[in-house]
Structure 1
Amino acid sequence: MDDVLFDVPEASCEHAVIARFRLGGDGFGESDQRSRVFDAERALQAAVCAAGVGEVDGNEFGGGEVVIFAYGPAADALYRVMEPGLRALPFRPAHVVLRYGEPADGVMSERIDL
């Protein structure tokens, strides 16, 4: 007999794709830049949702850059779906970090320059 009250599956590990783009100026970028990011983010969310590989969780503007966050069970699969849309954004320099696991010291990650 088990001492477990409920048969709850272990939570799956959450991987991340974190894309960082340099924008004009030192603040939140120009209005047209923000608009392009919002359009791209909606397209990325639709593609990620359709592929069933995770979710695009939002963005963060400031300091002359934008960061787009996405999470799912497999960073590589998530990035494969997102890559065309991320590369289509014209803002450079830009890079993506694939994080293979929960945020913690020593978690494996990979940087990809766009």
Structure 2
Amino acid sequence: MDTLFDLPEPETPEQAVIAHYRLSDDQYGSSAEREAVFDAERAMAAAVEEAGVGEVDGNEFGGGEAVLYAYGADAEALFKVMEPTLRGLPFRPAYVRLRQGSHETESRVDL
């Protein structure tokens, strides 16, 4: 039987670690706060790459909050690598959302 197309194999759903930090003002935080987030992001990107568990995919600032995004096949493994750096950032309140599975099951970890 001839096929009309080559369909890709279904992929494992991508999981996520999304960290939220409250900053000192209602906008983008201070330049020192932004620099601390950028430094943490670089450190986590290197650790995640070295561990081979996914990728740190960037940040978002606004509304008095900084958000960091990371994706991989296993949110728990990704969080384990990132956790020391995430907990090291001094901004509070702070929490992490772990998105897991094809139904996007979500759990929250307070930092």
Q: TM-score, normalised by structure 1?
A: 0.90
- % identity of equivalent residues: 58
Q: Deviations over 1:5-36 (max 9, x none)?
A: 54743222100000000000101000000000
Matched, 1:113 2:110: yes
Note the residue ranges of structure 2 that are not aligned, 5 or more in a row.
none
Shift of 1:85: 0.5
Q: Secondary structure at the match of 1:83?
A: helix
Match of residue 78 from structure 1: 78
In 2, the alpha carbon distance for the partners of 1:14 and 1:54 equals 9
Match of residue 64 from structure 1: 64
In 2, the alpha carbon distance for the partners of 1:59 and 1:70 equals 9
Matched, 1:49 2:53: no
Matched, 1:27 2:44: no
Q: Deviations over 1:41-63 (max 9, x none)?
A: 00000000000000000000001
User: In the alignment, residue 93 of structure 1 is paired with which amino acid?
Assistant: P
In 1, the alpha carbon distance for the partners of 2:61 and 2:41 equals 13
In 2, the alpha carbon distance for the partners of 1:77 and 1:25 equals 32
In 2, the alpha carbon distance for the partners of 1:92 and 1:2 equals 59
User: In the alignment, residue 47 of structure 1 is paired with which amino acid?
Assistant: A
Match of residue 40 from structure 1: 40
Match of residue 15 from structure 1: 15
Shift of 1:79: 0.3
User: In the alignment, residue 29 of structure 1 is paired with which amino acid?
Assistant: G
Q: Secondary structure at the match of 1:69?
A: strand
Q: Is the 8 A contact 1:16 1:101 kept in 2?
A: no
